[in-house]
Amino acid sequence: MDYTSGVARAAALLREAHYAIALTGAGISTPSGIPDFRSPGTGLWERADPMEVASIYAFRRHPEAFYTWMRPLVMTLLAAEPNPGHLALAELEAGGWLKAIITQNIDNLHQQAGSREVLELHGHLREATCISCYHVMPTGELLDDFLASGEVPRCPVCGGVMKPNVVLFGEQLPIQVVNEVMEHVRRADLMLVAGSSLEVIPASRLPLLVSEHAGRLIVINLTPTYIDEVAEVVIHADVAEVLPRIARACAEG
């Protein structure tokens, strides 16, 4: 299916769907300047061993290593702005063609773009939790102080190390979010996959679950995914270019 007919078909499927949801990965945020994790040459794991800097085991032993690695990424995340892909998904939701966005990203860009029902499977940077007394607090001042000093953020209650509420390797996904995600997946008759290589479990299994109960799939990603062969529409292109065209086609209906 060529690019133009793929956009038209995707828009038609969204207009026909009773309950469409989206799954997004790092590829929707790379146009906003946020590096992904696995791209050859540019991925974050090209320059660091994830188990040494981004696992819960390493964090508990050497939180300073995590924060040293995280500092430039936090600067990038805080400076990033939604791109046309994020804005298009918000438009699809506002138009009633999309019920929810399930994202693997921690960058808050869907919310900044105006999306309302956003389920963050891998957590977010808006809050942090003390690993000693479990005190939870907003990260605003913590991150400002950390970026200014480079020092590990400490709990104002007990002095323990504060950990951002993002899911590290070795941690469970937030159960309440997982339950909400599964409820949307059970109801979905269409899933739009945008900017995900579908390599990270369990998020990578979600399109398959939709397909198994006769839901349709639209896949927009630069590189092929394992689910392409059963998807109704597959477009290998930049989501920041394709999604606005789909949103426009839905509106022009």
Residues acting as catalytic residues? 122
- Token digits for 16? 């026909």
- Cα separation of 243 and 73, whole Å? 26
DSSP string, 158-197: T-PBEEEEEPPBTPPPPHHHHHHHHHHHHH-SEEEEES--
Spatial contact of 135 and 59, defined as CB atoms under 8 Å apart: no
**Residue 217 forms beta bridges with which residues?**
191
- Token digits for 68? 């040293």
Pairing type for strands 216-220 and 162-166 reads unpaired
State the chain's maximal CA–CA distance in angstroms: 59
- Token digits for 98? 């999309």
Neighbours of 80 (CB within 10 A): 17
Neighbours of 241 (CB within 10 A): 17
The H or E element containing residue 120 is strand 118-120
Spatial contact of 37 and 45, defined as CB atoms under 8 Å apart: yes
Looking at this protein, which amino acid is placed at residue 129? Answer: T
- Cα separation of 216 and 13, whole Å? 8
